[in-house]
Amino acid sequence: MFKNDENKRFKVIYKQGLASSFKIIVDTETGINYLFTADGYAGGLTVLLDKDGRPVVSPVEY
């Protein structure tokens, strides 16, 4: 049921780093972008904001 890559709700569209890493993840239903960061055993996730403090929203075409 969950093995089909075509139906994944979240897609990673950008990756940076190895030990400390950053990823931008898009919700394919809403288009909202999230920033995920990880360093060792710690990590965090937040909505990615533009310069005006509004969520970054990508066109839903993933």
d(CA 42, CA 4): 29
Quick one: pLDDT at residue 5?
61
Q: pLDDT: is 62 or 6 the higher one?
A: 6
Q: pLDDT: is 55 or 61 the higher one?
A: 55
Q: Where are the domains of the chain?
A: 5-47
> 3-class DSSP state for residue 38?
strand
Task: Report pLDDT digits (tens) over 13-60.
Answer: 999 998 899 999 999 999 999 999 999 999 999 999 999 999 999 998
Contacts of 58 (CB under 8 A, 6+ apart): 13, 26, 31, 33
